[in-house]
Amino acid sequence: MILGTARSSNNETPRLGGMRGAPAMSFIAPPPDGFEATLTSEIQRFYNEFQNHQAGTAIRGLERAYQQLSFWAEAVANARIEGHDVEIDELARASVSRYGNVPQAIKAASNLGRASNYISSMYRPALPLAERASDPAFVSNLHHVAMSDGLLPADDLGRYRSHPAQVNDHRIGRPANRVALPEEIGPWMQQWSQAYDAKAWVSRHPVLRAAAAHASFEQIHPYRDGNGRVGRLLIDSMLAEDGMPALPISAAIERQHPAYHAALTDTIKTGDHAPFARFLFDRATQAIRDVRTGVRDLKTVMGDLETAMAKHTRLEDRDRRLVAIAFCGMPVSLPGILTRQSGVEVERVRAGLIGMERAGAIKQRHILGKSVYVNTKALDLLNRATQRQEPRGREGDCLAEPGA
């Protein structure tokens, strides 16, 4: 796929129309001349680099490890945007045990991590697409995963709300626009699905499609709760469907939390694509920079782990590298998990862990009766990736009442 600025084949931006009594939830005017070109240069370069790399081999192990690591950052950031106070270390501790009394914030972040893995499994390079990102059934699956484990009653998982809702602009305390009535949700979602199908946007930039779809989805607000987090998962899904590499978009958005809600509200209020599209292009560019920095820093961490194993074990170079890569992607782990991730025999993995601990490169901790190994430097990278660099503003979904 080539990312370009040409308009769609019918010279119109795909739109939602025909919704009873509601303004067309569309981006009616096409972008002004040069709109995408001025916003996409760095995204285009990154995409081209990714495509050229994919043409020869699969994603290198270190890049794959960073992608897996970034799922944790995405999960934490997406949960924080909804007002859940959760930290990387808490999610890491919970990841090795599914038992015990897990706080609601951890459940929210864990669910979002599982949803990110689900998206990754649907849209793998060089494999046929398993599901359309705009398919209402796929959206309902995302909602089911994101809101399970007691965040919503089982009867509400993946099911449209049965009560009225409204989308508010909390800057002025008034509705931003009308949302679908319960009986309208099904038809509106079908129209949304058609309007934001990838085939309708084949000549437009993937970020523009994701921005338009996200804003329209939030106006429909189909679920009782979880609309914000599912909407951001849809951004990830649509970019992946369009061939983009995984980007930590929610982590970049969370650092500009108030601006996110302002841009999204302005787009919902006016039907003008520009405010939120510009915001998302900016955040996608920042996410690309985060990936480049993260892979570079993770390479240093991986080198330290390999050096520690070389000094204190007799593992071969290949095994050291595979164990180090796996441990970078799963920074709180057990020998069995690292064996599955790396393909290295469990006894060799244990030897590598003992060697790294002896060198002081990792730590061993006891969590809920389990002895686990912690890659503290990789966790430090995650903590830096999810630093809250700006005021977070109002907690919870600044748009919706009721529901998130």
What band does 200 get if pLDDT is binned at 50, 70 and 90?
confident
161 phi/psi in degrees, rounded to 5: -70, 155
List, for residues 322-361, the tens digit of each pLDDT value.
999 999 988 888 999 899 989 999 999 999 999 999 999 9
What band does 309 get if pLDDT is binned at 50, 70 and 90?
very high
Q: What was the pLDDT predicted at 29?
A: 44
- Token duo for residue 115: 């949803």
User: Is 118 in contact with 139 (CB distance < 8 Å)?
Assistant: no
User: Is 271 in contact with 27 (CB distance < 8 Å)?
Assistant: yes
**Residue whose tokens read 């809920």:** 368
Q: What was the pLDDT predicted at 202?
A: 82
CB atoms within 10 A of CB 63: 20
Residue 222 identity (one-letter amino acid): P
User: Is pLDDT larger for residue 392 or for residue 167?
Assistant: 167
List, for residues 136-180, the tens digit of each pLDDT value.
999 999 999 999 988 999 999 999 999 998 888 878 878 788 888
Contacts of 386 (CB under 8 A, 6+ apart): 73, 76, 77, 80, 88, 251, 254
CA distances from 371 to 90, 332, 354, 367 (A): 16, 10, 13, 6
Q: Using a pLDDT cut of 70, give the percent of the chain over it.
A: 75
176 phi/psi in degrees, rounded to 5: -80, -35
Q: Which domains does the chain have, with CATH numbers?
A: 60-291 (1.10.3290.10), 292-385 (1.10.10.10)
pTM for this predicted structure: 0.81
- Token duo for residue 317: 């170079």
Instruction: Enumerate the β-bridge partners of residue 401.
Output: 166
47 phi/psi in degrees, rounded to 5: -60, -45
Contacts of 300 (CB under 8 A, 6+ apart): none
Q: What was the pLDDT predicted at 188?
A: 93
Structure-derived torsion over alpha carbons of residues 11, 16, 22, 28, reported in degrees to the nearest 10? -30
